[in-house]
Amino acid sequence: MGNINNVDIITCSIRRNSHPKAVNALLIVDVQYDFIDGSLALKNCPSQHQGEQVIPMINKLLKDIHFDVVVYTQDWHTHDHISFFDNLHLRAHLLAKDSKQAHELNVFDTAIFLLDDPRPLRVEQILWPAHCIQHTHGAELHKDLNIIKPTKTRKIINLLKGYDSNIDSYSAFWDNMKIRETELHSKLKAHNVSQVFIVGIATDVCVYFTALHALENGYKTYLIQDACRGVDETNINLRLDELKGRHCSVIQTADVKDLI
């Protein structure tokens, strides 16, 4: 084995520094009252998950790990939102011929609407209980979630989504029809974010679609499984398998420190 000289040391140092530290973002998805103990509480869904269990996990991540960017998302629906079962009568005349009709539809069924927005749209929409209505308690972030302040080395992004009354928005990046992009991607790129860690509610809905679009946008994407809760256990497993197949890393909170 040869001696290591000064040239070797300098060369190793240059190689090590040629790979700059990744800029990391934590995406905290929809930790809102209505998904925890309100009208669409996970404990009343097939999974019977306790949505509040994500809060201490997320708070620990915020305490123990420095993320360069922290994003808080909120569902932010209008009273007449298309996703609410109670609003079905407002658009019954827009149901497609191959959709179940109004008298056949129940909560959690999928309706198919034909809309002009302004171009013709075929919108497949799960009918949920009314939830996360703008400026209501149910739409607020849970009081136990740590809402941190920006610093010189940490940016905070607050993102409202789903406020178009005719098109839902599960993802933090796009509406469900991929017609209108949110500001999230442009803001993350402005801060040079290269990898994202996703937590929150619900694993098989808003967390899944946010992770999917993060991958499509070129981010190294991590879904922190023990800091998420979902609607349906079977669907959760299917969604996670799909994300893994697309090279999303499904990890646990204990894994994060070694990835930052």
Residues with catalytic function:
30, 161, 206
Give me the DSSP letters along 142-183.
Answer: PTTS--PPPBTTBEEEEEEE--STTS---SSSB-TTSSSB-S
Phi, psi of 6 (to 5 degrees): -65, -35
User: How many whole angstroms separate alpha carbon 77 and alpha carbon 131?
Assistant: 7
User: How many whole angstroms separate alpha carbon 221 and alpha carbon 244?
Assistant: 10
Helix axes 233-245, 208-216, angle to 10 degrees: 10
Phi, psi of 186 (to 5 degrees): -65, -35
Residue with tokens 């890393």: 249
